[in-house]
């Protein structure tokens, strides 16, 4: 269904948050990526102390960009550590322009705090050089 929406709406980029995937080879990401599109992602690693063999285990988080193949996206490394959210940042370019694409996932179960604002400001400060 999501793949159909991407095609029907002729989207250039779709940012997906809370993908709940833990590896880039996740089958569901390939399934929602229609022909003529590519996917870049930031999987949420499984915590070392997680008991994944239970019915109650859920790996929330993760982000993905589904984008048209004519866009060039390259993952950017941001030299800052954040505690309150996950993010995916790419340098994007087309034949006529260049831009930075930032996707942020902040769990809704966590209250908005000044720490979140500080973390986000630190990421923006890194991006300001671009």
d(Cα 62, Cα 43) in Å, to the nearest integer? 5
The answer to whether the pTM exceeds 0.75 is: yes
Report the DSSP pairing between strands 37-42 and 13-17.
unpaired
Q: What is the pLDDT along the chain (130 residues), one digit of tens a residue?
A: 889 999 999 999 999 888 776 666 767 888 889 999 999 888 766 556 656 566 665 656 788 999 999 999 999 988 889 989 989 999 999 889 999 999 998 887 788 899 999 999 999 999 998 7
């Amino acid at each position: 269904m999501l793949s159909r929406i991407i095609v029907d709406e002729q989207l250039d980029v779709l940012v997906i948050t809370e993908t709940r995937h833990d590896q880039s080879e996740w089958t569901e990401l390939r399934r929602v990526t229609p022909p003529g599109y590519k996917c870049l992602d930031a999987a949420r690693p499984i915590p070392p102390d997680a008991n994944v063999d239970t019915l109650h285990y859920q790996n929330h988080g993760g982000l993905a960009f589904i984008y048209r193949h004519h866009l060039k996206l390259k993952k950017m490394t941001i030299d800052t550590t954040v505690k309150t959210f996950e993010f995916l940042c790419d340098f994007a370019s087309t034949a006529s322009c260049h831009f930075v694409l930032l996707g942020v996932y902040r769990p809704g179960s966590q209250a908005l705090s000044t720490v979140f604002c500080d973390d986000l400001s630190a990421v923006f400060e890194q991006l300001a050089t671009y």
